[in-house]
Amino acid sequence: MTAPVGSHDWNAVAGPPALPPVEVNDETLRDGLQSPSAIDPPMDAKVRLLHLMVDLGIDAVTLGFPAIGPRMLTQCRTLAQEVARQKLPIRLNCVARTLEADIVPIARLQQECGVPIEVGTFIGASPARQAAEGWTLDAMLRRAEAAVCVAVREGLEVMFVTEDSMRTPPATLEALYALAIRHGARRIVVTDTAGHALPAGAGALVRWTRDTVIRDSGVKLDWHGHRDRGLAVANALAATAAGADRVHGTALGVGERCGNAEMDQLLVNLRLLGRTAGDFTRLPEYCKLVSHTIGVRIPANYPVVGIDAFRTGTGIHASAILKAMARGDQVLADQLYSAVPAAMFGLRQRVNVSPMSGLSNVRHWLATHGHDGDDPDLQHALLTAAKRADRALNDEECEFALRAIHRKTMTHDGD
């Protein structure tokens, strides 16, 4: 993003040096649908979402959890067939417990659809989970070994996942990861499935895993986090700064409890950091499709796609933005009061009339809605209505405020 002349960025002073591109894995149609409030979308919406992921430059998608039942198995098959038929440039994975019965159906899908499907085989690793299940570490190691070996035997690439890695002792993680890599796992996923992490902790876990376990093995490292503390995007960015090769998220953060890292916000931040690319004008459609079909409300102040994201009713702010627009400088207009450029997403700055507005807002609204922006009577009528209101006026309310002026003009003309 081009900075205005003379600007200074304290992020560049305090932040990490330039980092390489990072991959993203979209779990909207798997982890996202675990939300108790989620609606399972129709298949045509899922296929459309898959294509939008490709447009956005998303690297990989979790098709689902085939062992859940026939509906999810059908979803995985249909989406994998679409990728094969359309030759879509996106990698596929499915999740499975560390059970042969979960893994074999994924191998069958891979054979049937003719596209590689990575298996994400997962096991709860924290002391809390061990206590709940009555597992010993030896038992967990046996389960992990059997699962990885079955997947490799079936011709699947293995992504080995430990749930609740953030609250698991290093010795347990090291034992599980080392065993998985030894038996053929090509990707390790460290997780914050309880939403416990702080950014410093996420970075510490990723660095420890890279330095202690992965080292020069060539195995890839993923981060998967939840947002119970509202820190999922910050944690994911910290994980990438610490060396994670890929981070996971879901559209609008949909998922169990408070949800997952918001994929849309991950993409925005990675794009602004120069670490990913894609057609970001498709981001509003991606978010709206998920909102409408999965049933996730988009708050008015939600970044980028909320209705207020690039809207102002404040006179001082609007005046500066409108001056930049009048000069034809869209870059400056975008950057005056937002670090996120509306034009990147096919959107624009919008100026409304509110109790905090001045004449700049009023003139702009009149001129862009077919009225004479310099008419003092129209200006007075609209500004008076705005000052009496308790919120920003919508277009219908603005037009209503002008009707008295129009009626007065018509009456005078009749005389």
If asked whether residues 261 and 352 sit together in one domain, one would say: no
Over residues 243-280, the pLDDT tens digits come to: 999 999 999 999 999 999 999 999 999 999 999 999 99
If asked whether residues 247 and 339 sit together in one domain, one would say: no
pLDDT of residue 238: 96
pLDDT of residue 103: 98
If asked whether residues 32 and 163 sit together in one domain, one would say: yes
Domain boundary among 295, 330, 346: 295
Average pLDDT of the chain?
92
If asked whether residues 387 and 254 sit together in one domain, one would say: no
Domain assignment present for residue 116? The answer is yes
Domain assignment present for residue 304? The answer is no
pLDDT of residue 243: 96
Cβ-Cβ contacts under 8 Å for 158 (sequence gap 6 or more): 118, 119, 121, 148, 151, 152, 180, 184, 185, 186, 187
Report the DSSP beta bridge partners of residue 222: 189, 246
The domain of 399 spans 311-414
If asked whether residues 398 and 283 sit together in one domain, one would say: no
Domain assignment present for residue 245? The answer is yes
Domain assignment present for residue 10? The answer is no
If asked whether residues 113 and 248 sit together in one domain, one would say: yes
Domain assignment present for residue 301? The answer is no
Q: Could you tell me where the beta strands, DSSP code E, fall in 111-261? A: 117-124, 158-163, 187-192, 220-225, 246-249
If asked whether residues 277 and 353 sit together in one domain, one would say: no
Report the DSSP beta bridge partners of residue 96: 121
If asked whether residues 247 and 126 sit together in one domain, one would say: yes
pLDDT of residue 14: 67
The low-confidence residues of the chain, meaning pLDDT below 50, are 1, 409-412, 414-415
If asked whether residues 269 and 365 sit together in one domain, one would say: no
If asked whether residues 102 and 236 sit together in one domain, one would say: yes
Domain of 122, CATH number, reads: 3.20.20.70
Domain boundary among 252, 267, 295: 295
pLDDT of residue 410: 45
* Closest to 198 measured CA to CA, from 161, 228, 155: 228
Domain boundary among 261, 295, 329: 295
Spatial contact of 268 and 253, defined as CB atoms under 8 Å apart: no
Alpha-carbon radius of gyration of the chain: 26
If asked whether residues 31 and 174 sit together in one domain, one would say: yes
Over residues 305-329, the pLDDT tens digits come to: 999 888 887 877 877 887 888 888 8
Report the distance separating Cα 98 and Cα 109, nearest Å: 18
Domain assignment present for residue 398? The answer is yes
Domain count, the chain: 2
Query: pTM score, two decimals?
Result: 0.90
Domain assignment present for residue 350? The answer is yes
pLDDT of residue 279: 96
If asked whether residues 290 and 317 sit together in one domain, one would say: no
